[in-house]
């Protein structure tokens, strides 16, 4: 009977405990502020007081301002930058997938390796135990064939099996999984664009798009500890030098993931907690990355009436919308059909004239845009294909013309095929773009040879966007790709795939521009540029310490620069103690 009172005490303790942040001087390294123009001298030292940057200048000037108790951190020649900002990522999905069997091309190089990993997982499972796998990818694993219902039934006659594609837009399951969820060949598609594939009146095992996958994903929740996984995922962001993330849509069935995120990241989480009475539901709380959330338009709980920007480390800043899907499932919406190739027709089983489709009707999408725009929200809109981007831009133009609003900063997300003809109007209307740049790194050859053909030479037009007046960010879309900001930077600069092919080299940008796209410009996209994204007096002391200066090494080695430490508000949250 005392547990609610104990919970209240715990909350009060967490929110009222004294601030133990120490004053620090950083010196004896390269300091890239991301606010000083190229060619101008950078500061030699930075003074931090109570988590805020107080002074920049020469080493002697800054050390003279430090008190006797001020901690002095000698960088020993390392490079300090503002902490990276992951503008579009999915910590909830990453936590959800953390315990799944890894079948990805990041881990396995052959179909035999993928199959053996699946067979080993099945052999370890008890009869009736669900087996969940992630990362299935016939593009990164050449020769990998999509599983059939009969194949999965033969491999796992006693266990429900679900295999997620690397794109997170499709999946496969065996008969026991479909039966457990009472899904049959007659089950209607949950939403337009999503479906359970049926041939000759029977399920094939293939599941297309998020809405159709949802029942299978919900069944996975009892199989792992989501709270522990959340903390591990946040720790992994910090290890990559990331100090702030933009959560691009929450995928839970209730408010608990949102409350858990708030507990783990907010400066003052207590007044918002609504867990049901047991202290056991709360994981250990420690300094973590900041989290700025875009809620789904179709969230299964009541959306706030306006953005919540009160807490410096956890905010609800916008609404996430979808207009199309993924190039790797044929659900990216194109003006012309996908390539006719073995990958698209045989491996993925798509019809020859497929060009994708919107995930909802245009008028329904327009109503969503108008509703949330008029409520004052920033919109982050998933839009990959050229036709999708064209129609999204048209809808935004219609809504902005009818209901003008200054500084809305509505975002196009991913923008794999962004028509250059749209760039001037997007810039004029204040629309911004977050590019999914490592499509090029991981799938460049497949996109050019098998998926979109010569259109790959027009994809991800970073330089054109910048020259046309757009402010852009770069993102990894974890768990789609590993959350590695320096990898994004190198791809943007080199325009080179993992196999070494160059694509649309004329769209390469400078190292400085790419670094801005993962720091100050990413912060600007989320309305946080006054506090985050650069090393300036009065801003939060969020830093990443790197083993080398990315502006001074060959572009080909940027990806391999080690992350030595990450700081948030002057507290070190990753790396060996400095």
Nearest to 575 by CA among 69, 83, 92: 83
Q: Residue 165 is part of a domain; what is its CATH number?
A: 3.10.310.70
Distance of CA 120 to the CA centre of its chain: 30
Q: How many domains, the chain?
A: 2
User: Domain for residue 472, yes or no?
Assistant: yes
Kindly state the DSSP code that residue 213 receives in the 8-state scheme: H
302 C-beta neighbours (distance < 10 Å), count: 7
Residue 273: what pLDDT?
52
Distance of CA 464 to the CA centre of its chain: 23
User: Domain for residue 369, yes or no?
Assistant: yes
User: In angstroms, rounded to a whole number, what is the distance separating the alpha carbons of residues 358 and 447?
Assistant: 20
- The DSSP code sequence of 70-118 is -EEEE-TT-EEEEPEEEEEE-HHHHHHHTTSEE--TTT--SHHHHHHHH
User: Domain for residue 61, yes or no?
Assistant: no
Same domain, 324 and 387: yes
341 C-beta neighbours (distance < 10 Å), count: 17
User: In angstroms, rounded to a whole number, what is the distance separating the alpha carbons of residues 363 and 320?
Assistant: 17
User: Domain for residue 274, yes or no?
Assistant: yes
User: Domain for residue 548, yes or no?
Assistant: no
Write out residues in the chain with pLDDT < 50, as ranges.
1-19, 271-272, 274-280
What percentage of the chain's residues is helix, strand, coil (to nearest 5)?
Answer: 35, 20, 45
User: In angstroms, rounded to a whole number, what is the distance separating the alpha carbons of residues 26 and 72?
Assistant: 6
Same domain, 297 and 445: yes
Same domain, 120 and 247: no
Same domain, 210 and 278: no
Residue 168: what pLDDT?
79
Residue 226: what pLDDT?
87
Q: Which of 222, 239, 257 is the last residue of a domain?
A: 222
Which residues are within 8 A (CB) of 159 and not within 5 positions of it... i.e. 6 or more apart?
A: 122, 125, 127, 128, 129, 130, 131, 176
User: In angstroms, rounded to a whole number, what is the distance separating the alpha carbons of residues 404 and 396?
Assistant: 11
- In Å, what is the CA distance from 54 to each residue of 19, 62, 80? 17, 10, 16
Residue 20: what pLDDT?
55
3-state secondary structure of 470: coil
Same domain, 197 and 234: no
Q: Find out whether 515 and 36 touch, Cβ atoms under 8 Å.
A: no
Q: Residue 91 is part of a domain; what is its CATH number?
A: 3.20.20.140
Tens digit of pLDDT for each residue in 79-89?
A: 999 999 999 99
User: Domain for residue 541, yes or no?
Assistant: no
Same domain, 162 and 248: no
Q: Find out whether 462 and 508 touch, Cβ atoms under 8 Å.
A: yes
| N residues, the chain | 578
Same domain, 506 and 388: yes
User: Domain for residue 525, yes or no?
Assistant: yes
Residue 16: what pLDDT?
40
Same domain, 259 and 407: yes
Tokens 């909802």 label which residue? Answer: 360
Same domain, 310 and 457: yes
Which residue blocks in 144-209 are alpha helix, DSSP H? 149-155, 175-180
Q: Which of 222, 237, 254 is the last residue of a domain?
A: 222
Angle at 90 between CA 281 and CA 315, to 5 degrees: 70
Burial 149-186 (b: 16+ CB within 10 A, else e): beebeebbeebbbbbbbbbbbbbbbbbbbbeebebeee
User: Domain for residue 560, yes or no?
Assistant: no
Which residues are within 8 A (CB) of 318 and not within 5 positions of it... i.e. 6 or more apart?
A: 294, 295, 307, 377, 378, 379, 380, 411, 526
Q: Find out whether 136 and 103 touch, Cβ atoms under 8 Å.
A: yes
Q: At 376, list the tokens.
A: 């004052």
Domain hosting residue 212, numbered range: 100-222
User: In angstroms, rounded to a whole number, what is the distance separating the alpha carbons of residues 567 and 542?
Assistant: 5
Long-range Cβ pairs for the range 503-506 (8 Å, 24+): 503/440, 503/444, 503/447, 503/448, 503/456, 503/457, 503/459, 504/456, 504/457, 504/458, 504/459, 504/460, 504/461, 506/463
Provide φ and ψ at 536, rounded to 5°: -140, 150
Q: Which of 196, 222, 248 is the last residue of a domain?
A: 222
Nearest to 321 by CA among 360, 356, 290, 291: 360
- The DSSP code sequence of 498-567 is TTS-B--GGG---HHHHHHHTTHHHHHHTT-TTTSSS--TTSB--EEEESS-TTTS-GGGGGGPPEEEEE
User: In angstroms, rounded to a whole number, what is the distance separating the alpha carbons of residues 573 and 578?
Assistant: 11
Same domain, 483 and 414: yes
pTM of the model: 0.89
Residue 255: what pLDDT?
85
Radius of gyration of the chain (CA): 24
Residue 375: what pLDDT?
96
Same domain, 391 and 429: yes
Same domain, 439 and 395: yes
Beta bridge partners of 56: 46
Which residues are within 8 A (CB) of 338 and not within 5 positions of it... i.e. 6 or more apart?
A: 330, 344, 350, 354, 355, 356, 451, 452
Please report which helix (H) or strand (E) contains residue 261, including its range. Answer: helix 256-265
Which residue blocks in 375-510 are alpha helix, DSSP H? 386-402, 423-428, 438-446, 462-467, 485-494
User: In angstroms, rounded to a whole number, what is the distance separating the alpha carbons of residues 398 and 14?
Assistant: 47
- ω into residue 132 within 30 of 0, thus cis? no
């Amino acid at each position: 009977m005392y547990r609610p009172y104990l919970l209240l005490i715990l909350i009060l303790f967490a929110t009222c405990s004294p601030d133990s942040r120490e004053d620090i001087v950083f010196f004896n390294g390269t300091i890239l502020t991301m606010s000083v123009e190229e060619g101008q001298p950078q500061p030699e030292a930075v003074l931090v007081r109570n988590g805020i940057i107080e002074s920049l200048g020469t080493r002697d000037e800054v050390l003279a301002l430090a008190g006797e108790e001020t901690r002095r951190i000698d960088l020993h020649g390392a490079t300090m930058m503002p902490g990276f900002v992951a503008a579009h990522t999915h910590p909830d999905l990453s936590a959800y997938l953390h315990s799944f069997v890894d079948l990805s091309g990041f881990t396995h190089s052959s179909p035999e390796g993928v199959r053996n990993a699946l067979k080993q997982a099945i052999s370890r499972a008890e009869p009736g135990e669900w087996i969940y796998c992630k990362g299935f990818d016939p593009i990164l694993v050449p020769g990998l064939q999509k599983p059939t219902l009969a194949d999965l039934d033969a491999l796992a006659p006693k266990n429900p099996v679900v295999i997620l594609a690397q794109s997170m837009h499709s999946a496969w399951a065996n008969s026991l999984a479909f039966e457990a969820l009472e899904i049959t060949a007659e089950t209607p598609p949950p939403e337009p664009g999503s479906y359970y594939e049926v041939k000759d009146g029977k399920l094939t095992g293939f599941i297309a798009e998020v809405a159709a996958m949802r029942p299978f994903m919900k069944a996975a929740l009892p199989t792992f500890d989501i709270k522990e996984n959340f903390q591990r995922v946040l720790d992994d962001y910090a290890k990559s030098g990331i100090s702030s993330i933009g959560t691009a849509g929450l995928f839970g069935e209730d408010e608990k993931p949102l409350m858990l995120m708030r507990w783990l990241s907010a400066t003052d989480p207590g007044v918002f907690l609504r867990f049901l009475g047991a202290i056991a539901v709360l994981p250990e709380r420690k300094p973590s990355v900041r989290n700025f959330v875009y809620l789904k338009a179709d969230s299964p709980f009541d959306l706030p009436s306006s953005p919540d920007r009160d807490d410096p480390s956890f905010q609800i800043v916008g609404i996430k919308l979808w207009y199309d899907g993924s190039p790797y499932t044929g659900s990216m919406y194109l003006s012309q059909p996908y390539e006719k190739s073995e990958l698209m027709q045989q491996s993925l089983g798509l019809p020859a004239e497929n060009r994708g489709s919107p995930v909802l009707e245009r008028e329904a999408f327009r109503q969503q845009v108008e509703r949330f725009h008029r409520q004052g929200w920033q919109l982050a809109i998933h839009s990959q294909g050229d036709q999708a981007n064209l129609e999204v831009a048209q809808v935004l133009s219609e809504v902005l013309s009818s209901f003008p609003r200054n500084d809305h900063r509505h975002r196009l997300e991913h923008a794999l095929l962004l028509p250059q003809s749209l760039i001037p109007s997007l810039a004029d209307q204040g629309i911004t773009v977050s590019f999914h740049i490592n499509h090029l790194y991981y799938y460049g050859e497949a996109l050019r040879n098998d998926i979109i053909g010569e259109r790959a030479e027009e994809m991800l037009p970073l330089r054109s966007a910048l020259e046309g007046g757009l402010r852009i960010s770069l993102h990894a879309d974890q768990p789609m790709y590993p959350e590695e900001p320096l990898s994004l930077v190198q791809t943007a600069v080199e325009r080179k795939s993992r196999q070494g092919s160059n694509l649309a080299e004329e769209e390469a940008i400078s190292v400085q521009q790419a670094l801005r796209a993962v720091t100050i410009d990413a912060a600007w996209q989320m309305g946080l540029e006054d506090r985050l994204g650069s090393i300036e007096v009065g801003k939060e002391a969020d830093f990443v310490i790197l083993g080398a200066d990315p502006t001074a090494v060959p572009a080909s080695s940027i990806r391999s620069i080690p992350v030595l430490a990450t700081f948030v508000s002057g507290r070190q949250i990753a790396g060996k103690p400095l």
